[in-house]
């Protein structure tokens, strides 16, 4: 499928083809001479003569490869996985974060500002706006009262820069109480980890407070 703003190659004359590009550009190539040209659409007629008469200076393959690279880049979604804290209220034996989940450090306002700038820079370097990117917040556990403020500041900062697609990964423990605020923020998708039937799930995902109670 062609990206929006692009048309399929049209046969202009004999072996000369043209593709209309977005931004007022055209791409012209000739299958006999093997030459290509890309430039302002208003110069297209001159370009047709150049590629047909062996006077263009770029191989058609190079011009078409360049275009294909842009198609690919435009198709590839850019996704950020953001971890405002590794701290968690669960202590799963298999946790990939290991002992980090007992550290409750979370991003400060200055950290969040830096992260928003980094995301903006990375997106721009890839020719994208924040509105074309997806942001997933995860931890640790971020959907809980002690960490939700950082999530709100982060999402607000990204939204100010144009971000609009937000997701969260959560163990679900405080999901119900945060759902209205998540909806308000625009966190449209939520991934919840369920380890099996209740007895299996509760065994594999023990809540830290219950561990403390047991220890006491």
Binding site for ligand SF4 (CB under 6 A): 88, 90-92, 95, 97, 101, 139-141, 171, 205
Question: Which SS3 state, helix, strand or coil, does residue 185 take?
Answer: helix
The answer for residues whose C-beta is within 8 angstroms of residue 124's C-beta and 6 or more apart is none
Quick one: 143 or 155, whose CB is closer to ligand SF4? 143
Alpha helices (H) in 35-98, listed in sequence order: 44-52, 60-75
Give min distance, CB of 34 to ligand SF4, in A.
56
Give min distance, CB of 137 to ligand SF4, in A.
13
Quick one: 43 or 136, whose CB is closer to ligand SF4? 136
Of all helices (H) and strands (E), which one includes residue 192?
strand 187-192
Rounded CA gap, 122 and 114, in Å? 12
Rounded CA gap, 109 and 156, in Å? 11
Quick one: 119 or 142, whose CB is closer to ligand SF4? 142
Residue 51 in tokens: 């590629």
What's the full length of the chain, in residues?
216
Give min distance, CB of 201 to ligand SF4, in A.
11
Rounded CA gap, 140 and 158, in Å? 21
Quick one: 90 or 148, whose CB is closer to ligand SF4? 90
Give min distance, CB of 37 to ligand SF4, in A.
55
Quick one: 88 or 119, whose CB is closer to ligand SF4? 88
Give min distance, CB of 70 to ligand SF4, in A.
39
């Amino acid at each position: 499928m062609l990206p929006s703003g692009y048309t399929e190659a049209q046969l202009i004359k004999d072996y000369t083809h043209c593709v209309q590009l977005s931004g007022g550009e055209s791409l012209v190539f000739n299958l006999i001479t093997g030459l290509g040209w890309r430039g302002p659409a208003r110069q297209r007629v001159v370009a047709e003569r150049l590629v047909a008469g062996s006077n263009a200076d770029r191989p058609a393959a190079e011009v078409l490869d360049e275009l294909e690279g842009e198609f690919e880049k435009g198709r590839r979604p850019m996704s950020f996985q953001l971890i405002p804290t590794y701290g968690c209220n669960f202590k799963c034996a298999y946790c990939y974060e290991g002992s980090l989940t007992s550290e409750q450090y979370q991003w400060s306002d200055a950290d969040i500002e830096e992260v928003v700038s980094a995301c903006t820079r990375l997106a721009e370097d890839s020719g994208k706006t924040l509105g074309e990117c997806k942001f997933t917040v995860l931890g640790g556990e971020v959907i809980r009262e002690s960490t939700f403020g950082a999530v709100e500041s982060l999402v607000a900062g990204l939204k100010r820069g144009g971000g609009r697609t937000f997701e969260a990964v959560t163990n679900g423990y405080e999901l119900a109480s945060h759902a209205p605020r998540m909806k308000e923020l625009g966190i449209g998708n939520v991934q919840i980890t369920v380890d099996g039937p209740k007895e299996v799930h509760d065994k594999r995902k023990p809540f830290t407070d219950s561990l403390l109670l047991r220890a006491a």
